[in-house]
Amino acid sequence: METEIIIKLKPYSLKEIADIYGISTKTLTKWMVPIRDKVGIRRGRYYTIKQVRIVFDELDLPGEIKKTVTA
């Protein structure tokens, strides 16, 4: 059964992107080495929306996303 998952395209930190993929920041950093020139350098804490789009395009979207919402 396929479930539609929506990932909001917004500025994300390295940790937030790693959480989306379900990996550590160390692993994500290694994955991003080959695409470093396409993504560019992060200014401040967050990657821009354009940079996040490039990361998602290059690494593909994760197969499963779990989000916990606290009320």
What does the alpha-carbon distance between residue 25 and residue 17 come to, in Å, rounded to a whole number? 8
pLDDT for position 2: 62
**Tens-place pLDDT, residues 17-49:** 999 998 999 999 999 999 999 999 999 999 999
Which pTM does this prediction carry? Answer: 0.78
Asked, for residue 7, whether it belongs to a domain, the answer is no
Asked, for residue 1, whether it belongs to a domain, the answer is no
The range of the structural domain enclosing residue 28 comes to 12-59
Asked, for residue 24, whether it belongs to a domain, the answer is yes
Given a contact cutoff of 8 angstroms between Cβ atoms, the answer to whether 18 and 25 are in contact is: yes
Asked, for residue 51, whether it belongs to a domain, the answer is yes
**Structural domains of the chain, count:** 1
Query: What are φ and ψ of residue 7, in 5° steps?
Result: -110, 120
The distance from CA 35 to its chain's CA centroid, rounded to whole angstroms, is: 13
